[in-house]
Amino acid sequence: MKILTAENIRLADEFTIKNEPVSSILLMERASSACVNWIVGNCKKHTKFAVFCGNGNNGGDSFAIARLLYLKGFDVHIFVDQSNEKFSENAGINYKRLKEFSGISIHDFKDIDSVQFDHETIIIDALFGTGLSRKLDGISEDLIEKLNDFKQIKISIDVPSGLFSDKILEENQTVFKADYTLSFKFWKRSFLHPETGYFAGKVVILDIDLSEEFIEKHATDYYVIDDEMIAEIFQPRNNFAHKGTYGKSIIVGGSYGKIGAAILATKSALKTGSGLTFVMAPNCGYEILQTTCPEAMFISGGEKLIEEIEIQENSIYGIGPGLGTDSLTEKALLKFLEQSSKPLLLDADALNSIAKNRDSINLIQKNSIITPHPKEFERLFGSTENSFERLELGRTKAKELQIFIVLKDHHTQVITPEGNVFYNITGNSGLAKGGSGDVLTGIITSLLAQNYSSENACVLGVWLHGKAADFAAQKFSKEAMLPTDVIDELGNVFLELNKKATTQL
């Protein structure tokens, strides 16, 4: 799914109005109906709505939403700035329609101090939309600060008021804190970064039939990984295949006291379908690796740490889990990078070793993959002020080095050498545990070995990792789920993928 800027979304609206054709007021009605259908289907225990409306088209949406909710039998209260009733054309039309219904109470913003909202009331925010270009002040800022103190469920229409669609917040910026955001057709980039996505709550994308012709033709560098994209990437297994068909993965990792990381990566590589899976680790981990991962073959890399990384032909390497940063291990890694000629994956201590020897980053083969978390990224490339800046620095480095960067975050970003960014929306905070990154290393290494392109291995890999984590959270809770639970749920994810692939045939 493409991510468009606020300006390009406006152009998509205009193109749809001109070429469908449909009037702007009917397009607004379409959007409002989509919101009401979702609200009615998901808010069955609530009977009252307090709708806070602005003067622009976002306010126009809310006037229509209030009218449609009232017609469905709900108790609706409208709040507007009655000192400034200069509405946009469509907002004015919907406000006039609304006033024809005597059962809908209309209040001024200042009345909020005297109105009591009970637990059955849902607050709907439609003060400002995607066109906002400055931080809030005055009456609007005071209102939102008060609304944020309320405990009732809060829903924002299209974007939380005060939030920019495409960029970081300014200092001391006031933003409506929504529990749900009903966004029209597209994700906004601000929903996908930790500093700003916090305000959006759970994001629901509503299709309002904007022109597919415009969307298809309009270029962007930013995408959300969705089910349609995954269906195009996923390759069901050939019934006549053999183990050589699905490649040879070699997980290089482990050191004394950190063998568990190598186990997690090896198990996830196996579970993701690697044809032949090896683990290169120190001898101190031999027995536990052979016991816990009997399907994998062991290659000795040293006694208590990796002292040598043997190059094997026709193999894909995933290096880093539990590797440690001993000087002997670092020397072995750098020697391997000098001699290796194929794309590989580098994670964890492999990245930390490279960060200590900055020039060695140029040894990484083109189309290789690195998977840093924010702190590892900082060690490699330097500090940034926020996640937006970090992503743009990642784009610069991916182009410069011609590598893929999987920048791990709540919404992990896959950055390509061309500068494209794919945001992953599967996964949850249950992954915020040591070992989760090792699982991802095994998954992506396995996909590379199975001849997925580097880009597709990254995109499918982060999606699989997150989807399995979502299944694990449903079964065990975010608090109790473990990285091993994520590995165990990979099978259920593949069952779902194969079922969909078969259905499509």
Dig out the tokens for 11 from the structure.
Answer: 């152009």
CATH of 231-235+247-504, one of 3.30.470.20, 3.30.160.270, 3.40.50.300, 3.40.1190.20: 3.40.1190.20
SS3 content of the chain, % helix, strand, coil (to 5): 45, 15, 40
Strand pairing class (48-53; 121-126): parallel
Tell which residue, 383, 451, 462, has the closest CA to residue 415: 462
CA 485 to CA 497: how far, in whole Å? 19
| Apex 182 CA angle, 181 and 188, nearest 5 | 75
Residue spans per domain, the chain: 6-220, 231-235+247-504
Tokens 């094997």 correspond to 312
pLDDT per residue as tens digits for the range 342-367: 999 999 999 999 999 888 999 999 99
The 3-state secondary structure of 231-257, one letter per residue: HHHCCCCCCCCCHHHHCEEEEECCCCC
Write down the pLDDT at residue 480: 98
CA 248 to CA 269: how far, in whole Å? 10
The secondary structure of 136-205 as a DSSP string is --HHHHHHHHHHHT--S-EEEESS-TT--SSSPPPTT------SEEEEESS--GGGGSHHHHTTT-EEEE
Provide, rounded to the nearest whole percent, the portion of the chain with pLDDT above 90.
Answer: 90
- If you average pLDDT over every residue of the chain, what do you get? 95
Identify which has the larger pLDDT, 102 or 28.
28
Write down the pLDDT at residue 503: 66
Under 8 Å between Cβ of 393 and 198: no
pLDDT per residue as tens digits for the range 171-220: 899 999 999 999 999 999 999 999 999 999 999 999 999 999 999 999 99
Strand pairing class (316-319; 248-252): parallel
Please name the CATH architecture into which domain 6-220 falls: 3-Layer(aba) Sandwich (3.40)
User: Mean of the pLDDT values across residues 365-392?
Assistant: 97
* pLDDT for 415 beyond 70: yes
**pLDDT band, very low/low/confident/very high, at 504 (cuts 50, 70, 90):** low
- For the chain, the C-alpha Rg in angstroms (whole number) is 26
pTM listed for this prediction: 0.96
pLDDT per residue as tens digits for the range 278-329: 999 999 999 999 999 999 999 999 999 999 999 999 999 999 999 999 999 9
pLDDT per residue as tens digits for the range 141-185: 999 999 999 999 999 999 999 999 999 999 899 999 999 999 999
pLDDT per residue as tens digits for the range 210-267: 999 999 999 999 999 999 999 999 999 988 888 888 999 999 999 999 999 999 999 9
Tell me the β-bridge partners of 318: 251, 345
Q: Which run of H or of E encompasses 407?
A: strand 404-407
Q: What are the backbone angles phi and psi of residue 317, rounded to the nearest 5°?
A: -105, 135
Q: From the CB of residue 27, how many other CB atoms can be counted at a distance below 10 Å?
A: 21
pLDDT per residue as tens digits for the range 93-130: 999 999 899 899 999 999 998 888 888 899 999 999 99
